[in-house]
Amino acid sequence: MLSEHSLDNLKGVGPKQLEKLHKLGLFVVQDLLFHLPLRYQDKTKLTAIENAVVGSEVLIEGEIFSQSLTRGRRSSLLVKIQSTQGHFLTLRFFHFHYRQAQQFTRGKILRVFGEVRSGPNGLEMVHPSYQFISVEDNPALETTLTPIYPTTEGLGQASLLKLMQQAMNLLKQYPLKELLPTALLDELQLPDLNSALFTLHQPQPEDDLRNIKQFSHPAQQRLIVEELISQQAGLQLLRQTEQKRLAPALAHSQTANALLASLPFALTHAQQRVLQEIQYDLALPHPMQRLVQGDVGSGKTVIAALAAIQAAEAGFQVAVMAPTEILAEQHLNAFLEWLEPLQIPVAWLNGRLKAAEKRFQLAQIASGEAKVIIGTHALFQDAVVFNRLGLVVIDEQHRFGVHQRLALHEKGQNQDTHPHQLVMTATPIPRTLAMTAYGDLDISIIDELPPGRKPIDTAVLSNEKRSEVMEHLYLKCKQGIQAYWVCPLIEESELLHAQAAEVTATQFSDNWPDLRVGLVHGRLKGEQKALVMNAFKNHELDLLVATTVIEVGVNVPNSSLMIIENAERLGLAQLHQLRGRVGRGDLQSHCVLLYQPPLSETGKARLNIMRDTNDGFRIAEEDLKIRGPGEILGTKQTGGLQFRIADLKRDSQWIPTAQYWAKNLVAQDAKIVELLQARWVGHKIDYQHA
């Protein structure tokens, strides 16, 4: 069984080599088969010197004509070989042994392999691999192209190649089971699994592998598609299990209409549509699993509140979880303002409640007295026992990771029904990425901003202009606007991070004593943070100097100027989040992105995207292209998105196809899905001849 056949069963694998193989993530023979070459060398045919093209890698034979040493401090060895047609090629060795040099005597025949380049004396090869050829010793040419594998220090290509050969011999004996439907392979014109593996590890000279580096060769694509289908099928299974569970069917709520009537604004069309989707789901007897994506400031909080009312009115509790205390507190304020007049009791749980207060809140939650409970991850604690949990709202889901999401969900398990689940994210996620990261959820998109919002005017400036920008900010604040100054994380140290913000805050206070400056950073206690935030909200402060703790959700509509330092170091999605703290009211807002020169071309291009658009979805697409999924989803979420061969940045065009086929498979062939999962996720048996 190749999926269980440990690598130390192969010839030549000792403990040291095993360690190196493990370092490459290779444990069983099947892993070797999925360890794909990066490129190939063609040693199957000889090229005449006169036909060698500069820049290409070729195998050449010739007779040694001369050898010499160059002059200078570090001399190099030059060996000139001549073809039967009388053309010359120079071999150049920078490092060589005296004994090695002696071998290259005139008249001997050499077979060399390397990249041809043009040197001072015509064509040359630097450090080619070479062997001597004679009438008695004339080894045959290779019959297949030679793969070059990703490797690690201390494990040479030659050893890896030997192991691969053994693995391929085993594969001939025990072919892997084809798990993809023939219809799919036919439609996409992709090869079957075993021939794909043979093509990639032992390609025939006529195989066209030019696309290999882009991973666009059909043999590679076949593997990518299979891995993506397996991942999608996993998500579909999760979804199916959830759909089979029971949830309380929550009837449409009259009280929600009362809130709508009391709001000083009407919902946008997009908000109405998303609200309807949620209301419909909540009325079904199976758990809703919905992700609401809305660009910054699109008004997600009120939608969450309306969903909460529907659950509360039906007699169920609602848990609302936010990723930071600042955000949880802000939700608390909004929910208190909206729900208290409707006689819906709101409870509040955070890490800094005094013991007595905490006991009281926990008792309210356990008795069912508290209907809507707002908090941070404090909501996970064992001490928190819900009475009748009907809906879980998770804001900024990517900060939590799938496991935490599920953990809160399981809190509703003491009942015969499961709670509904509403996940909200303000980071627009490109469609293909959302399908992969949240494929188990239905997706609603609020793709409209409330009327009257003006796009934020963004400027990109060098840090050399810092003092001018500070001065400008001061003058603006004197005219009555409020501003943010963000000092992003430069070092991976909360302390240094906080210090950078402190220094800036002091600079402002020293220069302009009449400017009311507040400071928030991650090292402040929750209480202090809340005090500063409230003061800023009530316009008792003109300027808030902050670290990226204010990134998500902070809502102070009167602030209309934001400066972000070291903007070049942040991802676009994060910059978009930060910038979204302004432009939330009727005022024309401005954002200045300061960068530390010199700025690379890509760096410039990235910041210019921020200057040119306010559209979060476009920014996210660009970010995906430039920085990959980790940047958009956060590391916790991408931890579960590690693929062996597929790459979300490179292969996203396959995701819709993979989702389609995964749905089919989950509906029709549970056995195959199980085998796929075992092959790509676990190391279980999935071989025909097991």
Contact flag: residue 302 with ligand ATP (CB under 6 A): yes
Residue 4: what residue type?
A: E
Least distance from ligand ATP to the Cβ atom of residue 463, Å: 27
Given a contact cutoff of 8 angstroms between Cβ atoms, the answer to whether 419 and 389 are in contact is yes
Least distance from ligand ATP to the Cβ atom of residue 559, Å: 12
| Among the listed residues 119, 181, 218, 557, the single contact to ligand ATP using CB under 6 A | 557
Least distance from ligand ATP to the Cβ atom of residue 624, Å: 19
> Which of 273, 684 has the CB closer to ligand ATP?
273
Contact flag: residue 614 with ligand ATP (CB under 6 A): no
| Among the listed residues 165, 268, 387, 499, the single contact to ligand ATP using CB under 6 A | 268
Least distance from ligand ATP to the Cβ atom of residue 273, Å: 12
Residue among 346, 353, 343 at smallest CA distance from 332: 346
Least distance from ligand ATP to the Cβ atom of residue 461, Å: 24
> Which of 203, 375 has the CB closer to ligand ATP?
375
Q: Is 292 helix (H, G, I), strand (E, B) or coil?
A: strand
Least distance from ligand ATP to the Cβ atom of residue 568, Å: 23
Which range, of 13-21, 293-301, 356-364, 369-377, touches ligand ATP by CB under 6 A?
Answer: 293-301
d(CA 686, CA 162): 25
Given a contact cutoff of 8 angstroms between Cβ atoms, the answer to whether 291 and 425 are in contact is yes
> Which of 248, 553 has the CB closer to ligand ATP?
553
Which range, of 141-149, 262-270, 397-405, 411-419, touches ligand ATP by CB under 6 A?
Answer: 262-270
Contact flag: residue 454 with ligand ATP (CB under 6 A): no
HSE-up of residue 172 (Cα within 13 Å, Cβ side): 9
Contact flag: residue 300 with ligand ATP (CB under 6 A): yes
**CA quadruple 503, 493, 428, 327: dihedral positive or negative?**
negative
Least distance from ligand ATP to the Cβ atom of residue 593, Å: 18
d(CA 620, CA 114): 42
**Residue 142 in tokens:** 């290779």
d(CA 687, CA 679): 9
| Among the listed residues 299, 419, 430, 488, the single contact to ligand ATP using CB under 6 A | 299
Residue among 395, 302, 398 at smallest CA distance from 641: 398
Least distance from ligand ATP to the Cβ atom of residue 300, Å: 4
Least distance from ligand ATP to the Cβ atom of residue 302, Å: 5
Residue among 250, 243, 315, 247 at smallest CA distance from 279: 250
HSE-up of residue 392 (Cα within 13 Å, Cβ side): 29
Contact flag: residue 267 with ligand ATP (CB under 6 A): yes
Which range, of 125-133, 292-300, 354-362, 610-618, touches ligand ATP by CB under 6 A?
Answer: 292-300
H helix or E strand, kind and range, residue 572: helix 572-579
> Which of 557, 628 has the CB closer to ligand ATP?
557
For residue 598, is the peptide bond before it cis, meaning its omega torsion is within 30 degrees of 0?
A: yes
Contact flag: residue 587 with ligand ATP (CB under 6 A): no
Do the strands 122-126 and 109-119 form a parallel or antiparallel pair, or are they unpaired?
antiparallel
Contact flag: residue 271 with ligand ATP (CB under 6 A): yes
Contact map string, positions 102 to 141, toward ligand ATP, x by CB under 6 A: ----------------------------------------
Edge-to-edge strand ranges of the sheet holding 420-425: 346-349, 372-375, 317-321, 389-395, 420-425, 289-294, 442-446
Q: Is 14 helix (H, G, I), strand (E, B) or coil?
A: coil
H helix or E strand, kind and range, residue 166: helix 157-173
Contact flag: residue 265 with ligand ATP (CB under 6 A): yes
Least distance from ligand ATP to the Cβ atom of residue 538, Å: 15
Contact flag: residue 580 with ligand ATP (CB under 6 A): yes
Contact flag: residue 584 with ligand ATP (CB under 6 A): yes
How many helices (H) and strands (E) the chain has is answered by 24, 21
Least distance from ligand ATP to the Cβ atom of residue 197, Å: 46
Given a contact cutoff of 8 angstroms between Cβ atoms, the answer to whether 18 and 10 are in contact is no
Given a contact cutoff of 8 angstroms between Cβ atoms, the answer to whether 31 and 25 are in contact is yes
Backbone angles phi, psi at 678, to 5 degrees: -65, -40
| Among the listed residues 90, 293, 432, 555, the single contact to ligand ATP using CB under 6 A | 555
Contact flag: residue 293 with ligand ATP (CB under 6 A): no
**Residue 157 in tokens:** 């290509």
d(CA 4, CA 10): 12
Which range, of 202-210, 280-288, 294-302, 314-322, touches ligand ATP by CB under 6 A?
Answer: 294-302
> Which of 296, 543 has the CB closer to ligand ATP?
296
| Among the listed residues 248, 401, 412, 553, the single contact to ligand ATP using CB under 6 A | 553
d(CA 510, CA 522): 23
Least distance from ligand ATP to the Cβ atom of residue 426, Å: 3
Least distance from ligand ATP to the Cβ atom of residue 539, Å: 15
d(CA 221, CA 229): 12
Given a contact cutoff of 8 angstroms between Cβ atoms, the answer to whether 489 and 547 are in contact is yes
Contact flag: residue 296 with ligand ATP (CB under 6 A): yes
Which range, of 75-83, 140-148, 299-307, 623-631, touches ligand ATP by CB under 6 A?
Answer: 299-307
Q: Is 333 helix (H, G, I), strand (E, B) or coil?
A: helix
Which range, of 85-93, 167-175, 296-304, 667-675, touches ligand ATP by CB under 6 A?
Answer: 296-304
Contact flag: residue 663 with ligand ATP (CB under 6 A): no
For residue 428, is the peptide bond before it cis, meaning its omega torsion is within 30 degrees of 0?
A: no
Which range, of 267-275, 311-319, 513-521, 658-666, touches ligand ATP by CB under 6 A?
Answer: 267-275
Q: Which stretches of 449-515 are DSSP H helices?
A: 466-478, 494-511
Given a contact cutoff of 8 angstroms between Cβ atoms, the answer to whether 294 and 426 are in contact is yes
Least distance from ligand ATP to the Cβ atom of residue 447, Å: 12
Given a contact cutoff of 8 angstroms between Cβ atoms, the answer to whether 603 and 471 are in contact is no
d(CA 258, CA 338): 10
**Residue 58 in tokens:** 């070729």
Which range, of 114-122, 297-305, 384-392, 616-624, touches ligand ATP by CB under 6 A?
Answer: 297-305
Contact map string, positions 399 to 438, toward ligand ATP, x by CB under 6 A: ---------------------------x------------
> Which of 90, 376 has the CB closer to ligand ATP?
376
Given a contact cutoff of 8 angstroms between Cβ atoms, the answer to whether 386 and 321 are in contact is no
d(CA 252, CA 361): 28
Total residues contacting ligand ATP by CB under 6 A comes to: 19
Least distance from ligand ATP to the Cβ atom of residue 374, Å: 14
Contact map string, positions 185 to 214, toward ligand ATP, x by CB under 6 A: ------------------------------
Q: Which residues have C-beta within 8 Å of that of residue 361, sequence separation ≥ 6?
A: 347, 348, 349, 353, 370
> Which of 268, 463 has the CB closer to ligand ATP?
268
Interface residue list for ligand ATP (CB under 6 A): 265, 267-268, 271, 294, 296-302, 426, 450, 553, 555, 557, 580, 584
